[in-house]
């Protein structure tokens, strides 16, 4: 019996990396019986049946997992947002951040296409960058053509399993291709009429980038808060999480309660107003969600 990590899933086969070798494996019946589907990123026990082929016998406990893309044991989610085309949106960024925080995955932000904006827009984005860094997020701004900027950004990939998330057309594949031209990941121009790119990625695979592994698939094709409970939302905002102990009421939702440390921080300019507005918007969205039976 050997151990390894699933680095690719395609047509019912799981490709397990064990040391320098890669094995094409199928899942054993015991997994199906226990209704366990192996995921890319899983640490597994397998046995070799023929040279380079084998069967997965057991899956080690996961620290987290995503449904889209189907991947487990993620160390960080890299959210790529573009300065323009599509326009930089703090609302969309906060949506991604909340979804990632709710899965207990470390987020990192890359702002792309910085070479395509004017000075006014640049200073606006510099302010946003500062806001998110103050919250505690790692934020890197890059121009797709500036390789040294991209290399600076991807130093955070080292030794980690990363998933890349972001709207279509923000330059996710371009960034990875710039670091490792052998990837030849498909990129698509933005379809102007829709203002969004076409999906080009079809299967899930972990590829080596900068001594780490990156899923070459768009993360979070759905940005719905279907799995999120309303009481979990405050903890998905780090600046609220660290202030909740100072609120008068335990379990404060930072909305209508008196003596709330979060609302005070918003009034004092310690928390950006737009972050708080998005928080209230997300609360309302989850509250109005239709129950699923």
Domains, the chain: 2-60 (2.40.50.140), 66-219 (3.40.50.300), 230-287 (1.10.40.50)
Beta strands at 43-50 and 53-59: parallel, antiparallel or unpaired: antiparallel
Mean pLDDT, all residues of the chain: 85
Residue 33 is predicted with a pLDDT of: 77
The torsion defined by the Cα of 240, 241, 243 and 248, in degrees rounded to 10, comes to: 90
Let me know: does 112 contact 171? Beta carbons within 8 Å: yes
Residue 87 is predicted with a pLDDT of: 87
Of 160, 90, 165, the closest CA to residue 132 belongs to 90
Residue 292 is predicted with a pLDDT of: 63
Contacts for 240 with CB less than 8 Å, ≥ 6 apart: 234, 254, 262, 271, 279
Residue 221 is predicted with a pLDDT of: 55
How many Cβ atoms sit within 10 Å of the Cβ of residue 174?
A: 17
Residue 156 is predicted with a pLDDT of: 83
Condensed to tens digits (0 to 9), the pLDDT of residues 56-82 reads 999 999 999 887 778 999 999 989 888
- Give the least confident one: 91-95, 159-163, 196-200: 196-200
**Model confidence pTM above 0.85:** no
Residue 191 is predicted with a pLDDT of: 34
Condensed to tens digits (0 to 9), the pLDDT of residues 247-270 reads 999 999 999 999 999 999 999 999
* Structure tokens belonging to residue 179: 């670091």
How many Cβ atoms sit within 10 Å of the Cβ of residue 177?
A: 18
């Amino acid at each position: 019996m050997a151990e390894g990590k699933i680095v690719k899933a395609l047509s019912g086969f799981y490709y397990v990396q064990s040391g320098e070798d890669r094995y094409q494996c199928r899942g054993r019946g015991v997994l199906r019986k226990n209704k366990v589907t192996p995921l890319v990123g899983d640490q597994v026990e397998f046995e070799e049946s023929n040279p380079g082929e084998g069967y997965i016998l057991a899956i080690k406990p996961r620290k987290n997992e995503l449904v889209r893309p189907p991947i487990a044991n993620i160390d960080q989610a890299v959210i790529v947002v573009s300065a323009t085309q599509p326009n930089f949106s703090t609302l969309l960024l906060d949506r991604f951040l909340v979804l990632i925080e709710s899965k207990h995955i470390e987020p990192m932000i890359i702002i792309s296409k910085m070479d395509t904006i004017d000075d006014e827009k640049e200073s606006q984005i510099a302010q946003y960058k500062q806001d998110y860094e103050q919250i505690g997020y790692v934020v890197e701004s890059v121009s797709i053509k500036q390789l040294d900027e991209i290399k600076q950004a991807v130093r955070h990939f080292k030794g980690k399993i990363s998933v890349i998330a972001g709207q279509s057309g923000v330059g996710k594949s371009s960034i990875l291709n710039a670091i490792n031209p052998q990837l030849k990941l498909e990129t698509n121009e933005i379809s102007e009429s829709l203002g969004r790119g076409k999906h080009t990625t079809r299967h899930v695979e972990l590829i080596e980038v900068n001594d780490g592994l990156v899923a070459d698939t768009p993360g979070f094709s759905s940005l719905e808060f279907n799995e999120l409970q309303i009481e979990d939302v405050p903890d998905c905002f780090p600046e609220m999480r660290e202030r909740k102990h100072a609120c008068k009421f335990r379990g404060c939702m930072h909305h209508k309660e008196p003596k709330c440390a979060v609302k005070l921080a918003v009034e004092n300019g310690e928390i950006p107003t737009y972050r708080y507005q998005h928080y209230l918007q997300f609360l309302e969205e989850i509250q109005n969600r239709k129950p699923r039976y």
